[in-house]
A and B are shown apart, each in its own frame.
Chain A
Amino acid sequence: MPALDVRDIRKRYGSIVAVDGVSLSVNPGEMTGLLGPNGAGKTTTVSVICGLVRPDHGEVLIGGRHLQHDDDPVKRHIGLVPQDFALYEEMKAQDNLELFGALYGLAGKQLQDAIHRCLDLVGLSDRRNDLVSTFSGGMKRRLNLAAALVHDPDLLLLDEPTVGVDPQSRNAIFENLEGLKRAGKALVYTTHYMEEAERLCDRIVIIDHGKLIASDSTQNLFRLLPSANVLALELEHLPEQNGWRALSEVPGVKSVELRGTELFLGLTDLSEAAPGVLAWLAEHGIRYHHVSSERASLETVFLSLTGRSLRD
């Protein structure tokens, strides 16, 4: 049973359509990236999932159960990491976690153990008695994550959890998330940083203007591109005439371009097409002294699917 099952949700604010028929499903131990530019409807989708916004249409199932009302115990299965630092900066880290744990009914030793576990996980145990206002941006992000984990949810919703974070803290957060995935948590990771989604997510859901554009594994999304990889060869000398153009007939080659002495080949699948390309070059006596390959990014996928850049 999926930890999260979102079915055709729609939400309008007046004349503005925020979400228009988004569906997605996340299994335990899986991380799904919810991608789209700013204003695409990612945050509204997350708000609908955790019951903050009532959808005009569609349904959300958490572990197979509908979320009925504000104090529905189903909410205990959800952990939300909001985009903002949703922390009381005038309070200590420990006090913040005590509060958020109590909101989910934790108390006494159970609460203290949970706080200990979460602070350990995010590497802030030694700062537990410090005011949050004294924390760096990266530390606040990590505590923001800990606050969502204190009640040990099955489903974690992360809304742009690395905005404004230094590389060191970002890597620490990534390691935390990979650990949670291994521990069987289902994660929904909302971001417009494609490289983060590529690194972390098993599945990608792309939305734009509230509509679902694509939903598949990262691998399969790349296959939607005419060229998922580019193979670049630095030739020893310019080939005679235009015989090199025949490379486009090699299986898996989608495009061929010569710039000076560099040959660029667009391939649908590197492992399938590269051997054929190299064999063709050897057969036609075209020698090269350097080969490199570059994979297309999710940015390219988004561009290909929507005709515009993610950061537009």
Chain B
Amino acid sequence: MNTYAFFALVRKDLRLFFTDKRSLMMSFAAPIAIASFFGFVLGGPTDRKASRIPVWIVDQDQSGLSKKITDQLANDSGLELRSGDLALARAEVQSGKARVAVIISSGFGERAGRAMFGAGEKPALELLYDPSRSPEAQMVKGILTGAIMQQVGKEVFGGETGRVFLDDSKKWIDQATLPEQDKSILRDLFRSVERWNQRTDTAGAAQPGPAAMQTPYDLKEEAVAAPGVKYNSFAHSFTGMGVQFILFMGIEAGVSILLQRQRGLWKRLRAAPISRATLLGSRSLSAAICALIILAVLFSFAWLVFDVRVEGSFAGFIGVALAFALMTSSFGLLIASFGKTPEATRPLAIFATLVMVMLGGSWVPSFLFPEWLQKATLAVPTRWAVDGLNGMTWRGLGLDQAIMPMIMLAGFSLLFGAIAIRRFRWEVD
């Protein structure tokens, strides 16, 4: 191989890359800006206070139970509770200022306890929500259900209202059209509740304990990564955007070969006494070097500004980065081998890349995908790049966990490279 020619071609590609303002903007500024934005939107640093969901509550019942439910919701760290009348709450949700409005209808407190034992009609609880924020509505629904179950349970198993519920329920059971055996079991249940209430009354404050129904667990929240590693959403966003924009650079590397064809440069290069391996190899090496430089700049920025660290194996991080850089360069060659003209090829390649990065979990982590899609995306190289880089950064995994992504990315490199070489049009136009 003519090494002078090989390295002259690599130098030429790097020089062209670093003198092209558009490519610098696309490779460095754009991913940094977008990754920073996504990092903030998706949570930011772990020590940052999570944003609270604005919720309006309309208490039309004004009972003791509804007030207790309202108080519990107000104390929830995930909600920013405001109260008002129905018209105002509806207007707030409609305008997008509030995500959800909870309407506790009149008679809720009275009917909820009875309904718990199947006696009487269930009271209505209305939830108004912004259709564009349905995931937040689901979260509010969960918090609300927990609060209601807890407060209604307290009432039934301890409060004054609970005793009334029990008396009413015993009367109801006599009239109910249930099998005698079921009636007998329910009477036993009510007697047990009565005995429980009498016992807690006698024990009083002298014997503190579970005087009412409570949630059967204490929820402890912790973002799980390696021991001592805190999740930093910037790590994922910089990985995702890095993968995406490095692939864009790969597209440009491929399109540059088509441009050389169009401008007659390919003819001049092919007329020189250099092998096909020199021509394609130099283009691959220069693209891989660019990919590594982009990744280094992005993660250096993320480290300096957002404290993103390689919490896992640094060798693994380098290995995955190298394998991804090689995959990017062979992806570029693939584009050059399938493309006819730069104008026709670039949009198609961008579309294919966007699909690939989306499926690879660059935008949204792949664990949020349906299970079948998670399995299917194992056939997408970006999935291995994103998982590999995430594993070595915020997940804090060891070198052994980098092996599989490295093997898979190297495999994709070989596959793309083989197809590209087979399909490449060597004869000049």
Contact = CB atoms under 8 A, between A and B. Distances in A.
Given A51-B271, A53-B427, A85 B263 contact: yes
Given A47-B428, A51-B271, A71-B2, A85 B264 contact: yes
Contact of B268 (A54, A73, A82, A102): A82
Given A90-B19, A91-B15, A102-B5, A70 B268 contact: no
Contact residue range for chain A? Answer: 35 or more
B273 A75 contact: yes
A84 B273 contact: no
B427 A103 contact: no
A79 to B, nearest CB: 9
A83 interface: yes
Contacts of B47: none
A88 B16 CA distance: 9
A95 B271 contact: no
Nearest to A96: B12
Contact residue range for chain B? Answer: 20 to 34
Contacts, number: 95
B263 A105 contact: no
A91 B269 CA distance: 16
A71 B15 contact: no
Given A80-B268, A80-B271, A82-B264, A90 B4 contact: no
A235 B71 CA distance: 124
Interface in A42-81: 47, 50-54, 69-76, 78, 80
Nearest to B267: A82
A102 B272 CA distance: 10
Interface in A77-116: 78, 80, 82-88, 90-91, 95, 98-100, 102-107
Contacts of A78: 271
B274 interface: yes
Nearest to B17: A90
Contacts of B270: 51-52, 70
A103 B269 contact: yes
A104 B267 contact: no
A53 B264 contact: no
A147 interface: yes
Given A52-B427, A71-B273, A84 B20 contact: no
A261 to B, nearest CB: 54
Contacts of A83: 264
Across the A-B interface, the 5 shortest Cβ-Cβ residue pairs: A84-B264, A102-B8, A103-B272, A75-B273, A86-B268
14 contacts: A47-B428, A52-B271, A69-B275, A71-B274, A73-B273, A76-B273, A82-B267, A84-B263, A88-B16, A91-B16, A102-B4, A103-B269, A104-B272, A105-B273
